[in-house]
Amino acid sequence: MLGRLNHVAIAVHDLEAATAVYRDTLGAEVTSPTPYPEHGVKVVFVNLDNTKIELLEPLGENSPIAAFLAKNPSGGIHHVCYEVDDIIAARDRLKAQGARVLGDGEPKIGAHGKPVLFLHPKDFFGTLTELEQA
């Protein structure tokens, strides 16, 4: 069911500072910051040969990453995202096996313009797991 690793997301307090570290210290190719008000985050992608890093800064009062950053003051890995060929079939298979899908269980359009779902971290070894339609 699982395909490629699409991205690893890292929550940061200061997106500009984090982008500078990836661009200048690590020498990576980075995108311009893009706000996603409907997801409560501002995002920069670090483009690597085989995957991406998604740098996430909270946006707005009810950002889903605010609590994570309160618990992880240095920032930290927030979630991993795997591609699946058929996100509805993947969701139904996971639910049938007892995994919890966050929200209303319906895919939302994510930062890459493709349907995504999030799975409860307690069902996946403490790791918030995102599935994206390939």
**Which residues have a catalytic role annotated?**
130
CB 26: neighbour CB atoms within 10 A? 11
Least distance in angstroms from the C-beta of 7 to Co ion: 6
* Of the residues 18, 44, 81, 90, which one makes contact with Co ion according to CB under 5 A: 81
Rank residues 24 and 108 by Cβ distance to Co ion and give the closer one: 108
Which distant-in-sequence residues (6+ apart) come within 8 Å of 102 by Cβ? 117, 118, 119, 120
Least distance in angstroms from the C-beta of 132 to Co ion: 8
Residue 11 as a binder of Co ion (CB under 5 A): the answer is no
Q: Specify the long-range contacts of residues 99-106, CB closer than 8 Å, at least 24 apart.
A: 99/123, 99/124
Residue 57 as a binder of Co ion (CB under 5 A): the answer is no
Rank residues 83 and 130 by Cβ distance to Co ion and give the closer one: 130
Q: Using CB under 5 A, which of the segments 30-38, 40-48, 78-86, 98-106 binds Co ion?
A: 78-86
Residue 130 as a binder of Co ion (CB under 5 A): the answer is yes
Tell me the per-residue interface mask from 36 to 55 with Co ion, x by CB under 5 A, - otherwise.
Answer: --------------------
Nearest alpha carbon to residue 55 among 13, 9, 17, 23: 9
DSSP annotation string for 55-95: EEEE-STT-TTHHHHHH-TT-EEEEEEEEES-HHHHHHHHH
Q: Name the site residues for Co ion (rule: CB under 5 A).
A: 9, 81, 130
